[in-house]
Amino acid sequence: MTTMTVPRGGTAVRAKGSLLAHSWHFTAQSVKVLWRQPVYMLFMLVQPMIWLLMFGQLFQRVVELPGFAGINYTDFLVPGVVVMNAIFTGAWSGVAFVEMMERGIMDRMLTTPVRRGAIIIGSLAYHGLSLLVQGVIVITVGRLAGADYPGGPSGILVTLLASTLLIAAFCSMSNAFGLLLRTREALIGLSQFLTLPLMFLSSAIMAQQAAPDWIRTLSAYNPVDWAVVASREALSASPDWGTVWGRLGALAAVALVLGYLGTRAFGSYQKSL
């Protein structure tokens, strides 16, 4: 299927080639960039390590509250940290699009016959691969800090899958906001406005049974909580796989919808040029 795009100057350019081929190109470029930036990975691990090692130790006795069933808080926190890392990393991804627009790279790219969905997929690949590496490190450090994963490898894979679906949703949303807002300040402000409430309205750091009723009600519609619940359930000794797959399916649906909207945002951006 051929799509029509209109770059600056009003000249129509037809997107040529398959979405798969273009996506593979951008994904390969993303892997190369990620491979050349090991220091970036270390910096991105600072925040999750603070949550896991400092916050986790500080609130070890919070499990004495009703709703935690006497579990180890590190066990409880690890999937929450992996998921929180996904939303904060994804929410900042649109900054790269803003920088591309400021340098004129985005305008030049949109004059080429590249499929717009492939640009989004390239961004998702970069941040998704980065998240997977960070997720494995967080889970490993959590194990060294005393966390136990009765769900075994399958539970760990579900945790990584849930966080990947979540970062795909947040990356797509952030990229769309970047194309529409076009300034770092506006994008960062809006991202913070969305991510912090979503985090605290989930069970990432606090058991829902210990939260007020209105938070428990809202969390049922919160994709962040879906990812946390799926991860924590899969890592448990006796997972309820119906709950796990239900949450993963909902996350996949949200990621697909936001990915589509992120691609459509290119049209709004071009019309304003």
211 pLDDT higher than 90: no
- Average the pLDDT over 136-154 and give the result: 95
1 pLDDT higher than 60: no
3 pLDDT higher than 50: no
Pairwise CA distance, residues 87 & 91, whole Å: 6
Pairwise CA distance, residues 82 & 161, whole Å: 11
Residue 268 pLDDT class (50, 70, 90 cuts):
confident
Contacts of residue 33, defined as CB under 8 A and 6 or more positions apart, other chains included, come to 126
| Per-residue pLDDT tens digits for 118-135 | 888 888 888 898 899 999
Choose between 86 and 59: higher pLDDT.
86
19 pLDDT higher than 80: no
What does the block give as tokens for 269?
Answer: 């951006």
11 pLDDT higher than 60: no
Distances (CA, A) of 132 to 63, 135, 152, 188: 28, 5, 17, 23
* Res 8: pLDDT: 42
* Res 125: pLDDT: 87
% of the chain residues with pLDDT over 90: 55
From 77, 91, 52, 84, select the one nearest 201 (Cα to Cα): 84
The gap between the terminal CA atoms of the chain, to the nearest Å, is 25
* Res 12: pLDDT: 38
6 pLDDT higher than 60: no
Choose between 137 and 61: higher pLDDT.
137
From 5, 217, 206, 18, select the one nearest 118 (Cα to Cα): 18
Domain spans in the chain, listed from the N-terminal domain onward: 21-268
* Res 273: pLDDT: 66
* Res 16: pLDDT: 53
Q: Is 14 helix (H, G, I), strand (E, B) or coil?
A: strand
* Res 13: pLDDT: 45
Which has the minimum average pLDDT: 85-99, 111-125, 133-147? 111-125
| Per-residue pLDDT tens digits for 215-244 | 999 999 999 999 999 999 999 999 999 999
- Average the pLDDT over 83-94 and give the result: 93
| Per-residue pLDDT tens digits for 24-77 | 877 787 778 777 877 777 888 899 999 999 999 898 888 888 778 768 899 999
